Structure 1
């Protein structure tokens, strides 16, 4: 993700401090987030299963005592002890290891996907928090501006150039801005909780964001399609795991070899002397397990073919969905850039109009209805501008999620 982030941050004119701040939050989230930790534990379990696959079946040991001792020429058989070990056909254990390793690779991609989604969530919450905070600051700035206008109105009332109604209107407008600011402060606390929960830390901790963000209208990103993406790569790994499963299935259809040893304890025949009297019996054994009825292996092969076809269909569907999300994000990003540019122009015109009104005050012809109208327009343009910036960076975060080829 580093290369893409450096490019985006550099071209969009974001300060270095902002990049470090957001990235530091992302690093904390990846370290503390319980969902990431859960997938890492699952991956560790999968790696242990690779070691588990490199093992033989349990050895069989048995012991028995003859209730009715059979007599033989060399004496009565007292007890029998047996040990047996079955061995899979050549290459079966390697096939099991390869299959277990392929499943572990799928679990590893789940970690990469979860971290990538977490980076997207942290980034979008960060920009949302920034927007709410900036709106609160803008409301405070406009409230101070209205207080200045109120002082002008009071002065104008004293000299007979304005009425008390104008003062009351300005005070009402200040109360409206106060209400909006207090509501936004509650929303800010809510978003702070959301952000801190993503980092799995205390909800009351402060969140540091940059003072300002802007959009470089000269920058054009030429992203048109999704490259290597872990969500799509996961389907490739699943496909490969099924291939390994089929290799294992073919190996398991081969015979199994067994080696064993039987030991029979023989008692001496009393009052008799001859060669091998009471000699114990040792009987090495070799066995072969042949899967004559192999319908289950054939069925598994058919199931594996169907599963591969299913995965190909799922991958195609997921790619179409991700490409739709990418196209939507690009369009929304470009729309936010246009909106930002228009709001800048409108805000400039509104401030020019404000200057004209202030100059008119010097001649005693100020209209406080126009003052309120211009103030409302300025506030509207400033809020729209903040929303455009927030949406722009949120869409950029979505685009980075889809096109970044270097997940951590």
Structure 2
């Protein structure tokens, strides 16, 4: 038991410095942005470009869910301030309808003031438990912020992917128009067939329809992104033309996986709070001490003169509660112990989920990097083959179908490369999220 009390004391001292400075703060997302940056854990910005940095900051300033999470933390701080207070003193007044006669005169009225004090250390354990729960709320806020950043990143890169798809499709349409002009010319010269013109015309209609569908896809993606930033749905979103190349090694940030994750720290603080609650329950099972003062108003005797005739009486008092019904305190201690075990099991389960998620993400990162290299090589070779087929068709007017098929193959690899680059960025961002990557890492 002594070791448990000592651990709670150490935990309390560690938390006090932080909470004394934080409990009077208020969250203004614009005015206190610098403070928020120091308090919370950032997903690494430097990999995503300056414009994305601005969007992440804007999301932190405006997102109502994040503001609500921070307000929960502030409310927990206020509860920590309340819980350390003594119970209110009691003041009572009584009037004797039938005065009680005493030697110095009849008692007319009585005024009583009483203050109860919990057993030594009870308020301290109350405070430690409530502060630890407030810190758990702060870790929940930190995780909510990190998750918001990941959502913003996950909504940002599909816009880049869409822009690249539109660009690729527009280039494809221009190429197909050139092919149609060439096929028409070859047919007019007697070197080609009319079916070649019809083939390219069919592909042009497909490409134009695909382009129209892609353009319509922009609106829901922009709406989703702007909603995360809590701004007008039609607000334009600036997206870079090219992504910064990022190649990461295998087991990227694996050593940070279980170190700084805010959800794991949240479980630690909940366990600490439950330990303090166990000590609180033990203290509540001990007597409470009361200190009071009675002031009795006494009237004068008219039938005789005595010393101190009509002198009011003042009586100090000490009282003590008798916690003879200890079952509820034992149940509270048992509840606190069971909660410690529950939080420990939940923490272990979350660690297992983190490890599983990391392994899958690490595989996806490696997979996307391999695919990007493959698609780059395929695009290069396909372009070379297409150039040769185009030259051959220009000279002979034959094998136009091969030219069109190779063009479609090139289009496919170009889009697959863009999708792999987008997926890689999102996978890296998710690893940064679950490993709680900071701004300067």
In structure 2, stretches of 5+ residues that fail to align are 1-40
| Mapped pair 1:78 → 2:108 | yes
Name the structure 2 match of 1:320: 352
**Which of 117, 123, 130 is matched with 1:87 structurally?**
117
Measured against aligned partners, the alpha-carbon deviations of 1:300-330 in whole angstroms (never above 9, x if no partner) come to 2222221111111111111111111111111
Name the structure 2 match of 1:386: 418
TM normalised by structure 1 equals 0.92
**Which of 396, 418, 429 is matched with 1:397 structurally?**
429
Name the structure 2 match of 1:112: 142
In structure 1, stretches of 5+ residues that fail to align are 10-17
| Mapped pair 1:213 → 2:243 | yes
The 3-state SS of whatever aligns with 1:363 is helix
| Mapped pair 1:374 → 2:406 | yes
Name the structure 2 match of 1:253: 285
The 3-state SS of whatever aligns with 1:68 is strand
Report deviation, 1:76. 1.7
- Cα 1:96–1:332 change in 2 (3 A) is same
The 3-state SS of whatever aligns with 1:71 is strand
1:260-271 maps to which residues of 2 (within 5 A)? 260-271=292-303
1:53-202 maps to which residues of 2 (within 5 A)? 53-202=83-232
**Which of 202, 222, 227 is matched with 2:258 structurally?**
227
Contact 1:116 1:407 in 2 (8 A): no
Measured against aligned partners, the alpha-carbon deviations of 1:252-302 in whole angstroms (never above 9, x if no partner) come to 222211111112211112242221221222211110113122122222222
CA distance in 1, matches of 2:345, 2:121: 32
**Which of 27, 34, 38 is matched with 2:64 structurally?**
34
CA distance in 1, matches of 2:113, 2:275: 36
CA distance in 1, matches of 2:97, 2:85: 37
Contact 2:250 2:366 in 1 (8 A): no
The 3-state SS of whatever aligns with 1:66 is strand
Name the count of aligned residue pairs.
397
Contact 1:227 1:405 in 2 (8 A): no
Measured against aligned partners, the alpha-carbon deviations of 1:208-266 in whole angstroms (never above 9, x if no partner) come to 1111236566x524334523211111111111111111122222222211111112211
Report deviation, 1:84. 0.8
**Aligned-residue CA RMSD (Å):** 1.9
Name the structure 2 match of 1:240: 272
- Cα 1:208–1:34 change in 2 (3 A) is same
